[in-house]
Structure 1
Amino acid sequence: MKKIISLLIILASILFSCESVKDTVYRIDIENQSTHTIQYYISRPEEEFVYPNTSLPTVKKVSREIKPSITNYDDSGSNWEVVYKKLPSDKMSLFIFDSDTLKKYNWENVRLNYRVLKRYDLTLKDLEDMNWTVTYTGN
């Protein structure tokens, strides 16, 4: 019985001494203040093209739809400062697309004709100054 209690105490101390699972979310909010549904793509360090190359990737990688007056977010999985240190420059590109355009045209057409509603080339300071919220107004 003493062995079982000792074993339980040891197991409990091991379990409680381990670091808890990281639950921090490093997010950028994308707020849609336009009158149409949008989708976005963020060009991260591991992507095919990163700023200063503002080409769209050869494989379609866009978010789910964001309806008008709705805010969605993108989570980096790690601190954005770490992400920015991996970039070849101090900017990261965020592309906004009309969701209807993505439904109407195949990705190759979107890429080659650069059917982007708006592109934001953002520094870390830009995002901090914007309180981590990119607001698309349709202009």
Structure 2
Amino acid sequence: MNKKLFLAIVFLAGCDPFDTRLAIVNKSKEVIFYSISGNDSISNSSPLYIRDNDTIWHQSSMVLPDSIVKLEMLGRNGWENFIKEKCRDSKLRLFLFDKNLLLNKTWDNIYSQQNYTRKYVLTVEDLKLKNWKLVYK
């Protein structure tokens, strides 16, 4: 039994932690959705899909009203590494979409025309000044 416990502790201690500093703070009364990109283009993965005339929302990219969502990136300094190594000009792009935009346009239209409610273009230094919190009102 002690051997199993020891192996479990070693295994868990060896895992890379997640960087959860980056947070989206939704101070509005509406649900918002987000998409992260390393360039100026919205990713082609929709935060929703429609099946049998029913809208299904992907919870993983949703921020409820008056709430905070912490975004995870693998590694102790995961967000800094991602921004500096994977993002064009070392700037993270975060696109926000309100629910009405997503309901009134198809994702193909949103993607092809690059429609969004708000866009943030941020360096690591910008994020540090904001204490890694992006506030939507």
Q: TM range, normalised to the smaller chain?
A: 0.7 to 0.9
Describe the SS at the equivalent of 2:83. helix
Aligned length: 121
Equivalence map 1:107-122=2 (5 Å): 107-122=107-122
The aligned runs of 1:1-139 (5 Å cut-off) are 11=3, 15=7, 18=10, 20-22=13-15, 24-27=17-20, 28-43=22-37, 50-51=38-39, 54-60=40-46, 63-78=60-75, 79=77, 80-86=79-85, 87-137=87-137
Identity %: 26
Whole-Å separation in 2 of the counterparts to 1:58 and 1:16: 39
Whole-Å Cα distance in 2 between the matches of residues 34 and 17 of structure 1?
42
More strand by share: 2
User: TM-score with structure 1 length normalisation?
Assistant: 0.71
Q: Greater Rg, structure 1 or structure 2?
A: 1
Higher relative helix content: 2
For 1:12 and 1:38, locate their aligned partners in 2 and report how far apart those are by CA, in whole Å.
44
Gaps of 5+ in 2: 48-57
Instruction: Give the deviation of 1:81 after TM superposition.
Output: 2.1
What letter is aligned with 1:67? L
**1:15, CA displacement in angstroms?**
2.8
Residues 104 and 23 of structure 1: CA distance in aligned 2, closer, same or farther (over 3 Å): same
Over the residues paired in the alignment, what is the CA RMSD in angstroms? 2.6
Q: Which amino acid is 1:120 matched to?
A: Y
Deviation of 1:13 after TM superposition, in Å, equals 9.9
**CA shift for structure 1 position 77:** 1.5
Contact persistence 2:36–2:42 (CA under 8 A): no
How far apart are the structure 2 equivalents of 1:59 and 1:103?
Answer: 16
Question: Post-superposition shift, 1:67?
Answer: 2.1
